[in-house]
Amino acid sequence: MGQLCGRCMQLLRDFVALVQKMSSELVHSIKECLALISECSCLKQNGSKTRQLYKPVLQPHERVTAQEFLQQIERGFEMSPLGKDPLEALRILAFSENPGLQQSAALYYLHMSQHMNVPLPAEHLEPFYALLRSADLEVQQVSSLSLVNFLLEGNIDKEMVVQMGLLEPILDLLESEDPTVQCNSCACTMTLAVSESNREAIGAARGVTPLLSLANSYDPRVQQNAVGAILNLTQSERIQLVLCKEGALPVLTLLLESPDSEVQYYSCAALSNIAANAQHHEAMLRIGDRFLLRTLISLLSSSVDKKVSSQACVCLRNLATRADTQAKLVAKDVLPRLCSLLVSSSEDVRRAAVALLWVLSQYPHNQDPLVCTELLQSLGMLLSVHTTDHVIAGHAACIIENLNLSKNRQRIIESPCVEGLLQTMLSIDIQEDSLHYVTLCLAELAKQEGATLRMVKWIDEPLTKRLVRLAGQREHTETSFRAASIIQHMIDHVRDNEDSIMSRRQILL
């Protein structure tokens, strides 16, 4: 078999560089390059019987195809890049044993992935199998990158990629020693794992183990994409079991301390998904003598990226289903950190923090520590500032209701919570479930003389009209009843005060 000389190899390298640049002289240079190679003696057989035993590196039909392919590019690449003729040429180039021709096909796909915004027909996925399987590193790099581009732009059906048999070569590339190939194959896997059926296919093809290995990569791009792929896979309960069996929990827990905020977020979100399944709690809390709890609490600091803090709250909320876990959270001074998050500029952080507080407030042994001045002040301010946030309103009202025990009632009445609930009731739409909890909490507080007094002081014309409208509507009967109850308690309070004043006047007279 003829061997390319050094000069021809350099010409091919120049050819690849020119295709990448896509300069105005591309077509002319490619044709000149191939013409020079075809005329070189290194590709001509020397008549020896030994040489005749091998096929030439550049097959005759491949040379013809390459020339026709260049002519099609010259006639107008942009006009019909997905036509039948280009596809046939791509198949021949992609399945060639000549790395240079494979590089041409890979670069053609890369250009399409960067400049086209139309769906790629399923038949165009077939050449990818050969390109991803290529022994040439550059072909692997370019073809995997073009596939990532197509997937990210939504120009390839994700399920079709797996159906066309491309998952196996993609997962094989995870074990490449080249960081670029690793990065691209992880990105492909991460994007494919958005689909439920693809997640199951990745798990069945044993794609979990190499991803866990790459999650410890020293290359930040590889690590990000590997952990991102694991995050998407954790949406499957079956693959959660596989991940835990393969040792994912310690890996993800240690990644919470990564200096890369994206890696922190992905690993924390993956742990949150796993923690949503109570059967994993024991294993998660057993790591390093509750090292996971301590690390998650440390991520509630205001200095941590807001996305990470928010996700840490979610993970803790999912883990806090048992009384002993909740007791440990409260004992580790989680409350001051959550109070600081309630005033965060991030809506997600505020919502995640108040949701975690709501879970903690449901258990009686936590209620005494929660009824502190700092928390009640923070909840009152949160309600007053974010009056239209139905998520915050609902959770905050439930927290106050859970803490509204006889021994705590006076502290709640003296806090800004009553005013915050009134302002929220004025702003929340009647269709929102949170209004149900706000009126429930106010109706319970209105039974106490001190709370009613504060309500009367804060009530104004807009609040009065709102209560009357709520009491008069019939669609939400429970809300109507509670609004009427609040009105009645305030009327009784005013009447009692008036009777008391009249009695004093009669005594004085």
CA distance 195 to 172: 20
pLDDT at 79 (0 to 100) = 42
CA distance 186 to 205: 15
Task: Flag whether pLDDT at 332 surpasses 90.
Answer: no
Would the pLDDT of 185 be above 60? Answer: yes
Q: Which pLDDT belongs to residue 300?
A: 93
Q: What is the sign of the dihedral through the CA atoms of 412, 413, 419 and 424?
A: positive
| pLDDT value for 278 | 94
State the first-to-last Cα distance of the chain, in angstroms, to the nearest integer. Answer: 126
- Rounded CA-CA distance 483/494 in Å is 17
pLDDT at position 244: 95
- The predicted pLDDT at position 216 comes to 95
Residue 457, pLDDT above cutoff 50:
yes
Are the C-beta atoms of 78 and 23 separated by less than 8 Å? Answer: no
d(CA 397, CA 420): 10
**Is residue 67 very low, low, confident or very high in pLDDT (cuts 50, 70, 90)?**
low
Cβ–Cβ < 8 Å for 109, 69: no
Q: Please tell me what DSSP assigns to residue 278.
A: G
* 400-420 pLDDT tens trace: 999 988 788 889 999 999 999
pLDDT in tens, 217-272: 999 999 999 999 999 999 999 999 999 999 999 999 999 999 999 999 999 999 99
CA distance 206 to 225: 17
* Contact indicator for 85, 70 with CB cutoff of 8 Å: no
Mean pLDDT (whole number) for 51-59: 42
**pLDDT at residue 428, rounded to an integer:** 87
pLDDT of residue 156: 93
CA distance 18 to 27: 9
Whole-model pTM over 0.75 = yes
Cβ atoms 139, 99 nearer than 8 A: yes
Tens-place pLDDT, residues 19-42: 556 544 555 665 666 666 666 655
Both tokens assigned to 94? 């992609």
Residues in the chain: 509
Please say if the pLDDT value at position 173 is more than 90.
yes
Q: What is the pLDDT of residues 131-151, one digit of tens each?
A: 999 999 999 999 999 999 999
Task: Measure the CA angle with vertex 184, ends 178 and 188; round to 5°.
Answer: 140
pLDDT at residue 348 greater than cutoff 90 = yes
- Going from the C-alpha of 152 to that of each of 155, 185, 190, the distances in angstroms are 8, 13, 10
State the Cα–Cα distance between residues 497 and 509, nearest whole angstrom: 18
**Helix (H), strand (E), coil (C) string for 134-171:** CCCHHHHHHHHHHHHHHHHCCCCCHHHHHHCCCHHHHH
